[in-house]
Structure 1
Amino acid sequence: MSSYPSIDTDILRTFVAIAEEGGFTKAGEKVNRTQSAVSMQMKRLEEDVLQRQLFERDGRQMRLTAEGQVLLGYARRILKLQSEVFNTLREPHMVGLVRIGVPDDYVMRFLPGILSRFAQSYPLIQIEVNCESSTQLLLRQDLDLTIVTRKPGDEIGQLLRQERLVWAEAQNAAIHEQNPLPLAMDGMACFCTQWACNALDARGRDYRLAYNCPSLSTIMAVVNVGLAMTAQLESLVPQDWRILGEAEGLPQLPLLNIMLVRNANKPSPITECLAEHIVDGFKP
């Protein structure tokens, strides 16, 4: 087997910082090193270890060469694996079960990425996901973390994201022209349904709850084939749908708050680690 020089992970961390910050000075601040120390690290990496030019100057910015772009991908993977090793082997207490509650609406849009990143960092932790409405989830005492939708002034817990409720229909449909409006919603117990109906009542627009759908996937199926329109958070609307508003004679809908509620009776390092991943995953 060929013998290659080793690359210090500290040097890789500096290299990634330069790529992300666009210069040695800002990168030095990020990794707590002087500009000269950063420069010496990169000179060693280019001349002694890899024997490849990794950067080229573009005005005041440092840009990666083709070889630098290749190294950046590997560097990020190496640093990520190093983090996983330490999280798994040096924190043996990070083993156990976390029960989270989340409305079905957010499962498809947000949860896959959050759980994937969390599993990579903490592969020994088991996650139990419970999908119910916000009202039902807040009644449960067995959940460690709960993601719920709340209206402004009725918040509880930590704000994850604020979004507007919007009207939407399939791109080639003209459901908004029908009278009464056929709606596909998650029943009258749902906050979104209540607010949508209240807005239509205030506008004096006739409507009917044509499809009472217990899940977002069912709502999407109904709307996709042009049977009804719906009101959903803007981030949940597929790109091939059309967002509607005042121009189509529909009332503006309110802003909603997505909140993260921790169970004060069941604090743990595991729960807090997952909470941090959830907060990051919901950032706009």
Structure 2
Amino acid sequence: MQYISEIDLLSDYPSIDTEVLRTFVAIVDQGGFTRAGELVNRTQSAVSMQMKRLEEDVLQRKLFERDGRQVRLTPEGQVLLGYARRILKLHSEVFNTLREPHMVGLVRIGTPDDYVMRYLPGILKRFSKAYPLIQIEMHCESSTVLMQRRDLALTVISREPGSEIGELLRTDRMVWVASSCFCVDEHEALPLAISGADCLYTNWARTALEASGRDYRLAYHSSNVAAIQAVVNAGLAVMISMESLVTEDLRILGSDEGFAALPSMSLRLLRNPSMNSPITDCLAEYILEGFKL
């Protein structure tokens, strides 16, 4: 029996140049052929010809629906877009890994632990694939403590409006959060779960509750966010949290239950200029991108 390798099977298919995929993605991201051409440094007619060959000669599938100057992806185009983005990212990771042997070392980053659970896993997974020889040392503490440290290359912190520093990662609405089994009306004094008596979240909660005339008590206190969430999940207390960190097993308490709106919080990235390097710059870009997803 003749052995047929995977390479033999792949040779039956035409190849797609990564530059063609880059142009295809640019058309989608820029919203048209002309602006995509400016981005990839090609004329509009050259871009059109690339896509025509991709549709007719390579894939034999229609990728775009054209309506005057507007273009929309067909279902086949949507499928290709997902693959194209993955291929281009892998292509970039290959060159970053093999052409940049200096990308080896240790980076110390700091972040409050609630962001670790929501954002960092995806960011670090993508980063480690591209730069497997870089070691990450994570330090999880409050924003106040992290800002006082000088041994961290990159630091993620939360800041209230009007006191922003560093680079913006995202802005998030603060909300009141409780378990689905928590009944507000059963408590004469609302039990609060807090991470610190003087933290920004606690001060906002106190101010809002006192302004609305609602009685409350500081029922649970822990610097460990997982412990606070466990208490809230059990239906024992209410906490305030960034909206993007609210999990499916929790519910947001609104004005219909007597809870006033809270300010928004901005997440910021601080870079330590004394530890600046290609490694920290690269990880910083991954963090900036990851918090927007």
- Give the stretch that moved more between structures: 4-13 or 271-280: 4-13
Count matched residues: 283
Q: Does 1:157 align with 2:169?
A: no
Q: 1:77 to 1:140 in 2, by over 3 A?
A: same
Q: Provide the identity percentage.
A: 63
Distance 1:204 1:63 in 2: 53
Tell me which amino acid in the other structure corresponds to 2:122: G
- Report what 2:204 is aligned to: 195
- Report what 2:39 is aligned to: 30
- Structure 1 residue runs of 5 or longer lacking an equivalent are none
Tell me which amino acid in the other structure corresponds to 1:217: A
Q: Does 1:228 align with 2:237?
A: yes
- Once the two structures are superposed, the pairs formed by residues 1-284 of structure 1 within 5 Å of their partners are 1=8, 3-4=11-12, 5-21=14-30, 23-50=32-59, 52-60=60-68, 61-65=70-74, 67-175=76-184, 177-283=186-292
Tell me which amino acid in the other structure corresponds to 1:151: E
Tell me which amino acid in the other structure corresponds to 2:161: P
**Contact in 1 for aligned 2:168/2:266 (Cα 8 Å):** yes
Counterpart of 2:223 in 1: which secondary structure?
A: coil
Tell me which amino acid in the other structure corresponds to 1:170: S
TM-score, normalization: structure 1? 0.88
Distance 1:125 1:118 in 2: 9
Q: What whole-Å deviation, never above 9, does each CA across 1:6-38 have from its counterpart, x for those lacking one?
A: 332111212233344454333323322112101
**Contact in 1 for aligned 2:233/2:249 (Cα 8 Å):** no
- Structure 2 residue runs of 5 or longer lacking an equivalent are 1-7
Shift of 1:195: 2.3
Q: 1:58 to 1:45 in 2, by over 3 A?
A: closer
Q: 1:233 to 1:177 in 2, by over 3 A?
A: farther
How much is the aligned-residue C-alpha RMSD, in angstroms?
A: 2.4
Shift of 1:186: 1.0
Distance 1:177 1:250 in 2: 15
Distance 2:19 2:46 in 1: 12
**Contact in 2 for aligned 1:175/1:182 (Cα 8 Å):** no
Counterpart of 2:176 in 1: which secondary structure?
A: strand
Distance 2:119 2:134 in 1: 19
**Contact in 1 for aligned 2:209/2:215 (Cα 8 Å):** yes
**Contact in 1 for aligned 2:188/2:215 (Cα 8 Å):** yes
**Contact in 2 for aligned 1:169/1:175 (Cα 8 Å):** no
Shift of 1:144: 0.6
Tell me which amino acid in the other structure corresponds to 1:136: V
- Give the stretch that moved more between structures: 132-141 or 213-222: 213-222
Distance 2:144 2:129 in 1: 32
Shift of 1:87: 0.7
Distance 1:256 1:16 in 2: 33
Q: 1:243 to 1:151 in 2, by over 3 A?
A: same
Distance 1:80 1:253 in 2: 39
Q: 1:62 to 1:179 in 2, by over 3 A?
A: same
TM-score, normalization: structure 2? 0.86
Counterpart of 1:265 in 2: which secondary structure?
A: helix
Q: 1:27 to 1:182 in 2, by over 3 A?
A: same
Tell me which amino acid in the other structure corresponds to 2:135: Q
